[in-house]
Amino acid sequence: MSTSRGAGDAACTADLGAQYITLEAERAQPHRSFYEELLSHGILQQLTARIEGMVVKKGSCNYVAPQGISSVVKYYLKQSGADVFYEQHVTRISLRDGKWEVSRKTGPPELFDIVILTMPVPQILHLQGDIVNIINESQKQQLESVSYSSRYALGLFYEAGTRIDVPWAAQYITDNPCIRFISIDNKKRNIESPEIGSSVVVHTTVTFGSKYLDSDLTEVQQLILSHLERILPSLPKPSSIKCQKWRYSQKVAWQDLCKREGRISQQCHAPDPGCDHGAALSCARAPRQISHEKYTA
């Protein structure tokens, strides 16, 4: 759920990960209150912009987050009243006198009554300490069966007034080995304004993501840009660019786990084979969750 800012203009933002949230008919009832709340606070808005090549399932409804997808998480964090500490890389979780001792990359370990993990499953399994021993063999097998595809995202940030002349807000690309999805992000989020620069988001195909997973980020960026130029030759030069690697992009085999665990789940169908995403949210035990039912990028 990440929203990035342009290097020279903090008001110019782009969602490099999740693009929109789809509420499917079968989940409309149990999840209605979440959507109503987020819609009434302007955190979500119905997606009205033109998305070419989008597969729309009957009875489903798509929503965008005008202030960026991270605003959904920020909204719930604010409501919780919790003190939030960012940039804390957890490395080890151990039991100490009936409490959880959490160690980080930097700083001393701290004790907690309850720990909720919402990171991608492989990252949970890589944690050190007692956490690995409290997961029994069967749970471990289930968790290990959750695998992820990888892909890259590119964010192009423009100065205010730069015109991006395309008739759509986003487009799924089906005939390019590198690029799967392009979005004029501010247009998609319905926040076009002469004062704020536009942003363009590009997602690669899963095949490209896997092939270049451990390549140099600058080289990957150049490759994506060269493909982008062929698809959109008249795209203006951006004032800044951000290239993001999503090692754990979409879940490939998670449905069984979520069903068995009886948690609120995400369901991601994608025209790009092997394009499902992230177990993290569905496996968290957070009391109030919004789920991302469908992702088609």
Ligand X SMILES: Cc1cc2nc3c(=O)[nH]c(=O)nc-3n(C[C@H](O)[C@H](O)[C@H](O)COP(=O)(O)OP(=O)(O)OC[C@H]3O[C@@H](n4cnc5c(N)ncnc54)[C@H](O)[C@@H]3O)c2cc1C
> Which chain residues interact with ligand X by CB under 6 A?
1, 17-21, 88-90, 118-120, 123, 151, 153, 203, 246, 249, 266, 277-278, 280-281, 292, 295, 297
**Closer to ligand X at the Cβ: 89 or 163?**
89
Provide the minimum distance between the beta carbon of 201 and ligand X in the complex, in angstroms, as a whole number. 9
SS3 state at 176:
coil
**Closer to ligand X at the Cβ: 153 or 164?**
153
Q: How many CB atoms lie within 10 A of CB 126?
A: 11
Element (H, E) at 46: strand 45-46
**Closer to ligand X at the Cβ: 99 or 269?**
269
β pairing state of 148-157 and 199-204 = antiparallel
Name the one residue in this structure whose structure tokens are 């998670």: 254
Report the C-alpha gap between 222 and 185 in whole angstroms.
Answer: 21
Q: How many CB atoms lie within 10 A of CB 251?
A: 28
Q: Are 62 and 72 in contact (CB under 8 A)?
A: no
Name the one residue in this structure whose structure tokens are 């808005």: 45
Provide the minimum distance between the beta carbon of 282 and ligand X in the complex, in angstroms, as a whole number. 7
**Closer to ligand X at the Cβ: 160 or 223?**
223
Residue whose CB is nearest to ligand X in the complex, by number: 292
**Closer to ligand X at the Cβ: 159 or 261?**
261
Provide the minimum distance between the beta carbon of 281 and ligand X in the complex, in angstroms, as a whole number. 3
Report the C-alpha gap between 285 and 272 in whole angstroms.
Answer: 30
Q: Are 151 and 297 in contact (CB under 8 A)?
A: no
Provide the minimum distance between the beta carbon of 2 and ligand X in the complex, in angstroms, as a whole number. 7
Provide the minimum distance between the beta carbon of 42 and ligand X in the complex, in angstroms, as a whole number. 19
